[in-house]
A and B are shown apart, each in its own frame.
Chain A
Amino acid sequence: DGGITQSPKYLFRKEGQNVTLSCEQNLNHDAMYWYRQDPGQGLRLIYYSQIVNDFQKGDIAEGYSVSREKKESFPLTVTSAQKNPTAFYLCASSPWGQGNQPQHFGDGTRLSIL
Chain B
Amino acid sequence: LAKTTQPISMDSYEGQEVNITCSHNNIATNDYITWYQQFPSQGPRFIIQGYKTKVTNEVASLFIPADRKSSTLSLPRVSLSDTAVYYCLVAKDSNYQLIWGAGTKLIIKP
Asked if A105 CB lies within 8 Å of chain B CBs, one says yes
Asked if A100 CB lies within 8 Å of chain B CBs, one says yes
Asked if B102 CB lies within 8 Å of chain A CBs, one says yes
Asked if B41 CB lies within 8 Å of chain A CBs, one says yes
Task: Check A45 against B98 for contact (C-beta < 8 Å).
Answer: yes
Task: Check B43 against A100 for contact (C-beta < 8 Å).
Answer: no
Task: Check B43 against A92 for contact (C-beta < 8 Å).
Answer: yes
CB contact under 8 A between A105 and B45, given known A42-B87, A42-B103, A99-B91: yes
A: number of interface residues (CB 8 Å): 25
Task: Check A102 against B34 for contact (C-beta < 8 Å).
Answer: yes
Q: Which residue of B lies closest to A31 (CB)?
A: B96
Interface positions of A from 1 to 49, Cβ below 8 Å from B: 4, 41-45
Task: Check B46 against A108 for contact (C-beta < 8 Å).
Answer: no
Q: Mark B42-59, 1 if CB is under 8 A from A, else 0.
A: 111110010100000000
Residues of B within 8 A of A102 (CB): 34, 46, 49
Task: Check B43 against A99 for contact (C-beta < 8 Å).
Answer: no
Q: How far is the CA of A97 from the CA of B49 in the complex (A)?
A: 15
CB distance from A78 to the nearest CB of B (A): 18
A interface residue numbers (CB < 8 A to B): 4, 41-45, 50, 56, 58, 88, 90-92, 97-100, 102-108, 110
B interface residue numbers (CB < 8 A to A): 30-32, 34, 36, 41-46, 49, 51, 87, 91-93, 96, 98, 100-103
Beyond the given pairs A41-B102, A43-B87, A103-B36, 14 more chain A to chain B contacts, judged by CB atoms under 8 angstroms and listed by A's residue number, are: A41-B103, A42-B103, A43-B44, A43-B100, A90-B44, A97-B96, A98-B93, A99-B32, A99-B91, A99-B96, A99-B98, A102-B49, A107-B42, A107-B43
